[in-house]
């Protein structure tokens, strides 16, 4: 019973299920953001990883930033967000990884400045969504390049019927997802552990 | 003396002045983020606008999100970030504005879903940087389209020698910038109000 019921309730209330198993949570996470909910997610990630000495939070722009920064605020550790586009003022050494977005049907190169991740870092990766796991996989690749130790992954919303969760576990990385969606049924969202799914 | 000395000190310590009057603050704001500093910025924006009834924070992805969400957290109001790219799951009515980035030399269209901004909103616009003011100008255009009332603008770092501050004031909008850079001298940053500039 350590799941964040608050988030599940919010998904039921304000999430929109679109065709192709797309869940739109623009109302509180991806476009409009509820800062108090994000803080609650941060508290939950901190609770789940409280035994670990985390030195850095890693996420990817843009929607990962809100839950990541709340986690960083409570832990008092820096948050690094991987960039999707090469910045005119990003120069020097970069760790890069390729990330394919199934939703947007484009391949992005994400990058992190070498200055902000190294072999002394114990990293907690935070992201808003886990579906096919491509973004998290890219962040794990970047941590490998930096020789940083990955303590685990924290996800707000996992679509457990897609391949991302398995991909992360196969890489031997601890995964904690606060809301785990087992299926969509029309406009209804079923969560892993719901009585009706048991 | 209501300026945030903490931010000025951090700019002096960790900011990098590049050619073309570019200030790189990747170490604590634009790529790696210091959550505690962002929270302090949020507290300062809340203090500056405490007389106002703000219903929504508006910013633009990605670097505006961190200071905006801390402000929203303290005020307990939602944060909306304008998107730079059309999302596959953004559909329906959008408010859009054109924004030219002098740093990246590209024109972006930024957009906000009509659902998240309307005539009942009292908006505080927050962004990390103010230079030529194009991003804030676009956000002001979007508020006009939404018929939302703009209470003011809160900026972390203003380059006061560029045209943005004047542009906002000409539109009749209150502007509060926490660090105001009056000039660069080699690698040194001068702030408005520094003894050496008086």
Q: What is the pLDDT of residues B9-38, one digit of tens each?
A: 999 999 999 988 899 999 999 999 999 999
Terminal Cα-to-Cα distance of chain B (whole angstroms): 15
Residue to substitute from B16, B69, B101, B123, interface A, most A β-carbons within 10 A: B69
* Cα–Cα separations (whole angstroms), residue B128 to A62, A141, B100, B158, B185: 14, 29, 16, 8, 22
Residues A79 and B69: their CA atoms lie apart, in Å, by: 14
pLDDT of residue B197: 44
Within a domain: residue A109?
Answer: yes
Q: Which stretches of chain A sit within 8 Å of chain B by CB? A: 18, 22, 24, 26-28, 31-36, 38-39, 61-62, 65-66, 69-70, 72-73, 76-81, 83, 87-90, 103-105, 112-113, 115-116
> Phi/psi at B189 (nearest 5 deg)?
-110, 125
Q: What is the complex's ipTM, to 2 decimals?
A: 0.94
**Sequence ranges of the binding site of B for 5-phospho-alpha-D-ribose 1-diphosphate:** 131-135
User: Which tops the pLDDT comparison, B103 or B141?
Assistant: B141
Q: Tally the domains of chain B.
A: 1
Q: Is residue A160 part of a domain?
A: no
Asked whether residue A90 is assigned to any structural domain, the reply reads: yes
Q: pLDDT grade, residue A194 (50/70/90)?
A: confident
Q: Tell me whether residue A157 is in a domain.
A: no
Query: What does the alpha-carbon distance between residue A84 and residue B153 come to, in Å, rounded to a whole number?
Result: 27
Q: How far apart are CA B151 and CA B164, in angstroms?
A: 17
**Residue A198 predicted with pLDDT over 50:** no
| Contact check, Cβ <8 Å, A31/B90 | yes
Reported as a pLDDT band with limits 50, 70 and 90, residue B194 is confident
Say which residues have a Cβ less than 8 Å from residue A115's Cβ, sequence separation at least 6: A92, A93, B26, B27, B32
pLDDT by residue (tens digit) across A91-134?
Answer: 679 999 999 988 778 898 999 999 999 999 999 999 999 999 99
* A138 inside domain: yes
Whether residue B196 is predicted with pLDDT greater than 70 in this model: the reply is no
**Among B75-79, B91-95, B125-129, B159-163, the least confident range:** B91-95
CATH code, domain with B67: 3.40.50.2020
| B89 secondary structure, DSSP code | T
Does the residue A24 lie in any domain?
A: yes
How many CB pairs lie under 8 A apart between chains A and B? 126
User: Average pLDDT, whole number, for chain B?
Assistant: 93
The verdict on residue A10 lying in a domain is yes
Query: In this prediction, what percent of chain B has a pLDDT beyond 90?
Result: 85
Q: Print the domain residue range for A44.
A: 5-152+165-197
Lowest mean pLDDT among A10-14, B14-18, B104-108, B169-173: B104-108
């Amino acid at each position: 019973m350590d799941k964040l019921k608050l988030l599940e309730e919010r998904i039921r209330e304000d999430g929109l299920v679109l065709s192709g198993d797309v869940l739109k949570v623009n109302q509180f996470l991806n476009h409009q953001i509820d800062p108090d909910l994000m803080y609650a997610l941060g508290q939950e990630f901190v609770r789940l990883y409280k035994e670990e000495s985390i030195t850095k939070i890693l996420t990817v722009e843009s929607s990962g930033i809100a839950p990541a920064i709340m986690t960083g605020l409570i832990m008092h550790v820096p948050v690094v967000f991987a960039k999707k586009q090469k910045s005119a003022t990003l120069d020097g050494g970069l760790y890069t990884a390729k990330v394919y977005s199934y939703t947007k049907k484009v391949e992005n190169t994400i990058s992190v400045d070498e200055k902000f991740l190294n072999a002394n870092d114990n990293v907690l990766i935070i992201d808003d969504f886990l579906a096919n796991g491509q973004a998290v996989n890219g962040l794990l690749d970047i941590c490998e390049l930096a020789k940083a130790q990955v303590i685990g992954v924290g996800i707000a919303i996992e679509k457990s019927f897609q391949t991302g969760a398995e991909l992360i576990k196969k890489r031997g990385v601890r995964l904690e997802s606060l809301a785990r969606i087992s299926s969509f049924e029309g406009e209804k969202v079923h969560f892993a552990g719901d009585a009706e799914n048991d």
